[in-house]
Structure 1
Amino acid sequence: MRADASTHGYATDVVERVLDALLVRAARRRRPLLAGISGLQGSGKSTLARDLGASARARGVPCEVLSLDDFYHGRRERRRLARTRHPLFATRGVPGTHDVALLQHTLAALAAASPYRPARVPRFDKGRDTRVVPSRWRTVVRPPALVVLEGWCVGLAPQDADALRRPINALERDEDRDGRWRAVVNAELAGDYAGLWRRLDRLVLLQAPSFAVVERWRDEQERSLRARAAPRALDRAALRRFLMHYERLSRHALRALPARADIRLVLDPHRRVLAIERD
């Protein structure tokens, strides 16, 4: 892999080895194979998903790439969640801030796509922190053989209740003193998200070396938004607070997902692939 996968892409041999492992399961199926790509923020999930999609299509395999981020609730719905569930749901990120029903509907629509009943794929504008209007969603007119779903918490199971008791950072200590927010997030993982993860046929993990690298990786993404003066781009201080929303489940993912994944790409702090491990 090249030194910065988030910008340049993965080495061809890495992409081809992962794709080979996925397509073994995709042959002679009556429905699209659903492959999840999971990894911490900034680890290169969207880049790997994009490269897998391009490589699959180059082989003549119809492939659609979905991002969990495109299914975030917009600001209006998150404000409603902040009023009715907990103020911290105003910030996108954790389970409970995605429209899982829309994602399930999109997967079903892709499996049945035709010129007479095209599937429509949502898109979220992070710079404006809201979903793009449906008239600008991508349309798909034939069922793919492979669907790649990438997202930071894809495949993640809930934590044990005992793990929720102590706050993990200043955000939880000061703004979730009674633990209600993290309990609701955990319940979401045990509910609708678990139903979505059960649909995964394969799970690919971009295995980060630690949570400590996430701020640097994620800031690289925000720089591009700041460079084009996106109205919701985060400066470094805002980014630190933003990442506190993700910290608990990111650390949980570092511990739990390696055993859950079918394919693990072990990364160094520069996102170079040190090893590809398969079950």
Structure 2
Amino acid sequence: MSTVDRRVDLAKPSQRWLHRLGTLREPTVPQSFALDEVNRHLYVLQVTRGGLEAGDLCLNRLDYQGHARGHMYLRGFGHGVSMGVQNEADGTAWIWTEADALRGYGRGVTRFHFVAGATRTAEDVKIRHPVKGSRHNQPAVCMASRRIAVRYHLHNGPRYRVWDLDAFVARDYADPVADLAQTGAHPDPGIPFQGYALSGDHLYQLAGTAYDDTANPPAGHGNTYVSCLDIRTGALLQQCRTEAGHSLDFREPEGLAVRRSPTPRLCVGFASGEPGARRLSVYYKQ
């Protein structure tokens, strides 16, 4: 089995990578994150203060130690449920996010270069609508297989569509690699979806809620689940509750990403901290 097809065992214990980072630009929770493994950057999306309905996002760039390395604002882009990084041979990186927000969620996707201190609007980027008429478009990128996925809502609930990345960049959406239903993210279908990541023929999902005093108390170590789908068949391969970061206060699952170097790891993000001073922690399953 090649490295790109190797599946992470979700039942294995998690290890901590980054803990309670207070270096994000906005005081809101992190929504998702993605890794630029060529340039060793961690990108993190947040909804801005007061920007939920408009779909205003803040994109943070950190180094692998969690130090801030700049930020930019994305006005009217979406909720930031997932994102991706596309690396090119010359060392440049494209950031993929949702775009064209309606009631806070993107109806399309776009890519752009990170520019510290910049602000982008819909007029500044080229928006793609690969699934006509869909809502809640959220991208993820796997550079090992050079594929891009878009999670979307159309008529019968959320689905994923996967394309060859080069074809997608060329706006050739006619022949996707896969189109499958979102399933198995959590045993309770009413629990919020919190992110996904694409890795070869596997698609990892995250679902769960923040701690509360009744339905999800800290003593129970949380209701967060991670799961894995096979994009070739749509089958649910594994679904496991994770207690990673169970000692965090608040502890809301927020975002997934796959880190391939030095060994394949599924990284899981959690928000913690008080309102107005949220923090980011990242754990991984190797």
TM-score tier (shorter): under 0.3
Normalising to structure 2: TM-score of the pair?
0.27
Structure with higher strand content = 2
More relative contact order, 1 or 2 (CA 8 Å, 6+ apart): 1
* Higher alpha-carbon Rg: 1
Normalising to structure 1: TM-score of the pair?
0.27
